Amino acid sequence: MKNLFTKLVRGEEGQGMTEYGLILGLIAVVAVGALALLGDEVKAIFDNITGSFTNPKGN
C-alpha cells in the first residue's frame, strides 16, 4: 500500500501533457489580447482590401 501511494505521488506520466496544455492556453490568451488591441486596425485593413476588389481604381 505504501508503494502504491509513493508511486501515485511521484508519478510524472501526465506532466508533459499538462505543460503542453498550459503553453497552448498562454498562446490563446496572447492571441485574444492581440486581437482585442489590434482588432479595429485589422478590420480596417481587410475592409480596404475588399473595397479594392469591389471598386477597382482602373474603372
Which residue do the cell numbers 505543460 mark?
Answer: 19
Q: Supply the pTM of this predicted model.
A: 0.51
Mean pLDDT across the chain: 83
What is the pLDDT, as a whole number, of residue 9? 64
Q: What is the torsion angle, in degrees rounded to the nearest 10, for the CA atoms of residue 43, residue 47, residue 49 and residue 51?
A: 180
Q: Which amino acid, residue 44?
A: A
Share of residues in the chain with pLDDT > 70 (%): 78
The rounded distance, in Å, linking the Cα atoms of 14 and 54 is 53
Q: Which amino acid, residue 34?
A: A
Model confidence over 35-52: pLDDT tens digits? 899 989 989 999 999 988
Model confidence over 2-31: pLDDT tens digits? 787 676 666 666 677 888 999 999 999 999
DSSP state of 55: S
The rounded distance, in Å, linking the Cα atoms of 9 and 53 is 61
